[in-house]
Amino acid sequence: MNFQVPLIAPSILAADFSKLGSDIQDAVKGGASWIHCDIMDGHFVPNISYGPGVVKAAKQSAPEAFMDVHLMIENPGMYVEAFVQAGADLISVHYEADHHLHRCIQNIKKYGLMAGVVVNPATSLHNIEPVLGDVDLVLIMSVNPGFGGQSFIQKSYDRLRELSQMRDKGNHGFLIQVDGGVNLKNAQKVAEAGADILVAGSSVFSAQDITARFKELQGKLG
């Protein structure tokens, strides 16, 4: 799929699930080419969100959109196939959640999908160096995962710059994604720090006019 970065990926965790398809289409009308799906299990993170059925519904609502699935769950490798069947184009798993991270990444790629690795705010980026040559995307959490609507952790700017330097030094091709607390005030600064994909939930779907808000956010990125 062709897409230009940096871009905003609206997170449907913040959408109104009573009109999920409509909310997603409003974002797509604003230019959204990625849809971000946050999967929470109540074990790895202190909240439960939704499963493959909602991802499938999201894909049906916007079949032209790139379906970006972020697994905040224990034993993510057990559920890869279910999310493949639901329509995922990219599956990202947490470094902290899988003791066999390399195998899980290879399993995702076996299905022809893009694979990503995610790091929590307190996890050193050097922990993921062994898989940087294997992943298509690295997601830096700029909040502690589990709930939407949190404030952006300021240290994340330094982490984005550090990861960008690691990418350049290793001559890697992965995309850099950031998730948590992205809004109109900080989106430009986040992109300038090195983010290619900025996940935005509440700042998109809490707006009265989702289409206009998405355009406004995307416009902050140049």
For 216, phi then psi, to 5°, come to -65, -45
Active site residue 196: no
Please state, in angstroms and rounded to a whole number, the distance separating the CA atoms of residues 166 and 156.
15
Q: Are 221 and 6 in contact (CB under 8 A)?
A: yes
Please state, in angstroms and rounded to a whole number, the distance separating the CA atoms of residues 114 and 66.
11
Contacts of 170 (CB under 8 A, 6+ apart): 129, 132, 133
Closest to 94 (Cα-Cα) out of 161, 41, 172, 152? 41
Active site residue 41: no
Q: Are 113 and 158 in contact (CB under 8 A)?
A: no
Of 23, 38, 68, 98, the active-site residue reads 38
Of 26, 41, 136, 179, the active-site residue reads 179
Q: Active-site residue numbers?
A: 38, 179
